[in-house]
Structure 1
Amino acid sequence: MTARALRALACAAAVVLLPAGCGLPDLADLPLPGGAPKGDGYAVTAEFADVLDLVPQAAVKVDDVTVGSVERISLDGWTARVTLRLDAKVRLPANATAAVRQSSLLGEKYVAVAAPPTGAASDRLADGDVIPLPRTSRGTEVEEVLAALGLLLNGGGLAQLRTINRELSAALDGREPAVKDTLHQLDTFIGGLEKQKADLVRAIEALDRLTTRLNQQKQVLGDAVDSLAPGLTTLAGQRAQLTGALTALGELGQVGTRVVNRSRDNTVASLKALQPILEQLVRAGDDLPKSLDFMLSFPFPPNVTGAVVGDFVNLSITADLDAASILANLLAAAPPPASTTRPPTGSTPNRPPAAGGDRPTPRPGTGPGSGTNPLLPGLPILDCLPDPDDFPAIWTPPKDCLLPKGCVLLKPGSIIPIGGLILPKGLVPRGTVFPPGTELPAGTILSPQCVLPVTGAIDGVIGGLTDVLGGGLRP
């Protein structure tokens, strides 16, 4: 039987069966074009920057399942607005996404609606909602892929890959350890950046706050810059004068250098000439400031104000009423005037006693309560000064000298204690426990206890009758 006969037989059978009740299917049972939902459903508008060749009645799919169709496509400026009709049973989050996809390489376009990858909203997508442009996208067209491939193959540098590979191999040949070390260092560097990520983020945030603050004060900064304009204009006008001043300053430096070089010898000589004066000032010690203090109230001591009352001065005298001293002073012959100041030239005062002999008579005024009295050999004559030829480092006078406790004499060259007194010429001045004019080796140092306090009153003077008659008890 030929094909033509078979087709004729089939048509005859169909004609026979139609009156017998095999009618056409109900159109209500057929699916709507494009997968449109049965019933009303709900409409959602999606905004696209490019819908390609999407057409109305195209399918709308969720997880590759058709749940609706494209109802209308319109243009709003440069944005395409696609109205999607979805089945009422489809439940999607309010922040759902939409994308234009292609069913196959040469297939039709459809719209894929899906929940966002992360952070799905709790609300549901409802009728009239809009999927904005940031949540829509489109797939890549085959034409775009082929165009990119053609660009790569036609002058895109593919032919140079072999050259690049060969040159790179030649550059790295024999340097593998160095390259590996470089990669390790780069890994360490990136690891350090990773550990300091929080600090870097904090620094960037601080920089952001700074730029925000500067942006807020943009007007203030602008006013400050504008206010600099007059000053800059003045500086620009005086540029020649400033340049001349700097040039003159450089010349002044050269002149100063010449002056210093030429006067160097004279300056050194002047400093050397000052050395003796400075040495004498050092040796003077506290004498200079004490004398300056005394000069302000001459002829009275500096603290005489406590003793001056009106037009008179209060004085107190302590008399030594030792009977032996009084008797010796009354019966003693007055010494020669020359012996009251210093011994004859070449004589040695207060020599220590010779072996087996008596102590020599001390020079008048060489100690408290001392004197020359050959007529009364039974009265004690005290030796209260050291031997100048055998001066010890620290000489402590005997207790019989009746000197204050702690009053000692230090050998010349010793360290001067605080409050002590140095004798540059070896003569004891007024204001000590020793009679004025007493000779000692030059440079002898008296301890502070040997120096009488400077007051407005005389606390006590120890001496004989001859000292009183000769004025030795003057303050």
Structure 2
Amino acid sequence: MTRRVLGVAFIGVLCFLLWLTYAFYAKVFTDTVEVRLKTSHIGLQLNTHADVKLRGIIVGEVRSVSTDGDEATVNLSLKPEQVQEISAAVSARILPKTLFGEKYVALVPPPDSEDTGHIKAGDVIARDKTAVGIEIEKVLNDALPLLQAVDPADLNATLNTLATALEGRGTEIAETLTQLDGYLKKLNPSVPKLMEALTKLTQVSQLYGDVTPDLVRVLRNLTITGNTVVEKEQQLQKFFTDVQTLSGTANGFLRENEDRVIRLGEVSKPVLDLLERYSPEFPCFLKVMTDTVPILSDTFRGGALHINLELITNQPTPYQPNELPAYKDKRGPTCVGKNYSHPGEKPGPYTQDNPAPYITGEDGVIGDHNKLERFPLNLQLNRAAPGYLLDTGGAGTPAEQKVVNSFAGPAMGVPAGDVPDLTTLMIGPLVRGGQVNLK
């Protein structure tokens, strides 16, 4: 029992000595002034118990580091005897002891000599926001990933090699730096133009980037075209030979007929101008011809000619001496179809009961001379046998043909026996049943 108590007591004393050692190391029994430092994420690179220095003298240490996501909070323990030397307006920088050494907090006194009192427990130290402090902080942030990735031994060997290479070359390096300074002084006025050129270069690069897929596709198509040209080389050579022969023939023809070709162009120009003016009439003309096809097909149906006669009177009024031919038509392109509609005229379709309007240009004729007047019931023809009523007993009979030929022949200036049968067929219906008076 006694041995167990002594063993437990021994272990307790051993633990107490270990704690006491740590307490002395952690300065648990040392009076300190606790302050805080607000800094950026660079503060997270500080280790616990890192030094806090003022003008190179250690005035405290780092107790702990924490962050809220936006900035880091570093808890500092300052020596009471050094607090009187630290201004309440002091700021802080985080610097490395060596290139690969641990970092420490460097307190920066305010630039002015105004008495603001010394720092007290609970005060918050702000980070140094001067240009130098911010640049140092940025360099540390940017250099940390590189320093973590580079092996210190390799870096040391590289620096030693660089130092050996530069040893004894100070004069040359100085001259080089002097020349470089001269180049930079000459280049400095052109920096704005250089920046503008780089900006435009960026825009051009973006444009090239946008058109690169199309350019690649064009090059791919050109490759296919090139392969096709290679495969069809013989056909192309024959084609070029034929083109050369044709060119020679065309050259000889044009050389011999150049005056005629020029004259043809000069003569054709007025005709082409006229055709251009009347070109709107062509569709209407073709449409009328298309509409006429069924009528023609009906006229020549069954392999025989079928005549549909529309009777009109002889012109009741003769042309007057002052009605001379004239060519003054200024209407331009005009076309009368079956559904022609003109301002002031009645529209189609046109029939016997709805005849088309009489439209003519300024051709020297005054009026229409009743050309559109339909056949009246009381027709009296100008030429006929006196007092003879044409009634042969049947249409188209030889007797009717003989009678028609007797007065059609003298009117046509041919003997009665030479009158064509078509004339009898056309005149017979006109005079059948009419009274003919021969003068």
Asked if Structure 1 and Structure 2 have the same fold, meaning a TM-score greater than 0.5 normalized by the shorter chain, the answer is no
Return the structure number with greater helix share.
Answer: 2
After TM superposition, the score normalised by the length of structure 1 is 0.29
After TM superposition, the score normalised by the length of structure 2 is 0.31
